[in-house]
């Protein structure tokens, strides 16, 4: 049965989320993919989360998929049972996913039982599209690094909108109504746990309805 955890933020993943996926964390062999950070001006959060992963005792290797080939990735990931994709710039990440063939390798691994974990941008690329990365107020848009096709990996049939801020409620209401996909709005501390064809909200507080 396939398992995914699509989270708003990594604090939740590291402190609680991984324990929802694995009964025994000593059995985790995880790739922590930091590629989305290459498109961000401030990468300090990656070091903080690496320290948290170490402190919690997780077995992980840090991996940047940029510049890799499908064969490279198959070799680097061959012993991993968890793929954890960190947040950052979603456009940069999606570009690297396509160029490296990560999407093809990941699909094979999920079919073979590997667990996928996404945080923010890492959650977005698991959705049908990354259109929610464009749901910004004027002047807040991120560099798209030449990405015009927003089609993502389509591992789930819905969209995830991370880091909910009540100030954006009306904007989200408008954009969600225009999307062809169901949208799950998450605040930090929440995630969507996918098991087979079923999915549910996990984490702190009630589901956010827009």
Where in the chain are the domains?
A: 3-203
Q: Does residue 142 surpass a pLDDT of 90? A: no
Pick the CATH number of 3-203 from 3.40.50.2000, 3.40.50.880, 3.40.190.10, 3.30.750.24: 3.40.50.880
Confidence of residue 60 (pLDDT cuts 50, 70, 90): very high
Per-residue exposure over 121-146, b if at least 16 CB sit within 10 Å of its own CB, e if not: bbbbbbbbbbbbbebeeeeeebebee
C-alpha 108/C-alpha 111 separation (Å) is: 5
Q: Quick: pLDDT tens for 64-84.
A: 999 999 999 999 999 999 999
């Amino acid at each position: 049965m396939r398992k995914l955890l699509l989270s708003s933020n990594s604090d939740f993943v590291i402190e609680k989320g991984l324990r929802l996926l694995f009964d025994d964390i000593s059995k985790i062999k995880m790739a922590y993919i930091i590629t989305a950070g290459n498109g961000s001006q401030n990468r300090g959060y990656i070091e903080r989360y690496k320290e948290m992963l170490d402190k919690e005792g997780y077995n992980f290797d840090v991996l940047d998929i940029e510049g890799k080939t499908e064969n490279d990735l198959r070799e680097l990931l061959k012993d991993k049972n968890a793929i954890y994709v960190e947040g950052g710039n979603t456009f940069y990440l999606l570009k690297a996913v396509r160029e490296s063939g990560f999407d093809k390798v990941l699909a094979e691994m999920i079919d073979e039982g590997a667990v996928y974990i996404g945080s923010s941008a890492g959650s977005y690329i698991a959705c049908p599209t990354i259109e929610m990365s464009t749901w910004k107020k004027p002047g807040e848009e991120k560099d798209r690094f030449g990405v015009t096709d927003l089609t993502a990996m389509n591992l789930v049939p819905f969209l995830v909108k991370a880091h909910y801020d009540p100030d954006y409620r009306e904007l989200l209401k408008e954009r969600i109504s225009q999307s062809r996909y169901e949208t799950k709005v998450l605040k930090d501390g929440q995630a969507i746990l996918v098991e087979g064809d079923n999915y549910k909200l996990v984490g702190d507080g009630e589901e956010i309805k827009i």
